[in-house]
A = this chain, B = another copy of it.
Amino acid sequence: MSNNTTVSTLVNGRASETFAIADRGLHYGDGVFETAAIQGGIVEFWVRHDARLKQGCNRLGIPLPEPVLLKSEIDTLCFGQTRGVLKVIITRGSGGRGYRPPSGAECQPTRIVQIHPWPDYPASWSDEGVRIRTCQTRLSQQPLLAGIKHLNRLEQVLARREWQDPDIAESIMLDTAERVICGTTSNVFFVRDGLLHTPELSRCGIAGIIRSVVLEIAAALGMSTQVGEYSLADLAEADEIFFTNSLIGVWPVRQWDEQQFSPGNVARRIAESLAAWKNRHQGSSD
């Protein structure tokens, strides 16, 4: 964050660093969130983040946040931020003790809008590639929650606890059926025999915004893509592997455990197209 060093937060439009302890976001993780990059005061790909937020709310039966209010709160916090991270959380709001959600007028969702500092990842991770590992923690299979970015994230916390080495940037996560799904905080792509692959996410994982953009970029570049089911063995035979999310963009893999990879042409072309796309769409948030 360029203007100051403290986190700025609006809760239902009011500056606050606290929120109601009765909120179901705390008690049950009953809500969804988005994490987006801010560049030059603009939230990158906000239209897509907003669409996923709404999809998550609809899946959980949480009333949609009032769009004008939410956008105005985001604009207020992002104004003048040259570089930063936007986090938006929508919870079902307060609602007594017990799993049964409040309904109708009793349900007053909570909007939380936050600005965080831009993470200081080494520039070499984008340019020369990252070292990665494989997680022991497996993702459970829950089609009802797959794809959306909900607040039940203990599996990711357990996965991220597995390593402390700051030189390891990411770790591959499998589901309980040993299918490759994602990184702990990113989506994964790999190239084999000229085809760009990424795991399908109908049982677990989060459908990343940059993942969707990369699939569109690849199609526009004339690359053949496949969304499918893959094993670790499939990944190990890849010519290139790379990770994507809204903050890292594209991280090519240069080393996976002891196996070496050359950050390749596909990752580079995708990263260049992504940067060009962002420049082209600056100001429109998509």
Contact = CB atoms under 8 A, between A and B. Distances in A.
Interface of A: 7, 9, 11, 16-30, 33, 35, 60-61, 85, 87, 89, 91-92, 96-101, 103, 112, 114, 116, 119, 137-138, 140-142, 144-145, 150-161, 164, 176, 184-185
A99 to B, nearest CB: 4
A61 B161 CA distance: 9
B151 A29 contact: yes
Contact of A160 (B18, B101, B160, B164): B101
Contacts of A185: 98-99
Nearest to A35: B97
A101 B87 CA distance: 18
Contacts of A116: 96-97
A26 B161 contact: no
Nearest to A91: B26
A111 to B, nearest CB: 12
B28 A154 contact: yes
A7 B22 CA distance: 9
Nearest to A152: B152
B97 A87 contact: yes
Given A26-B23, A29-B151, A29-B153, A141 B141 contact: yes
A186 to B, nearest CB: 11
Given A19-B21, A21-B112, A87-B97, A176 B142 contact: yes
Q: Which of A151, A154, A158, A164 has the most CB of B within 10 A?
A: A154
A43 B119 CA distance: 45
B28 A157 contact: yes
B144 A141 contact: no
Given A27-B89, A28-B153, A145-B155, 9 more contacts: A9-B21, A28-B156, A29-B151, A30-B157, A98-B119, A100-B161, A145-B154, A150-B154, A151-B154
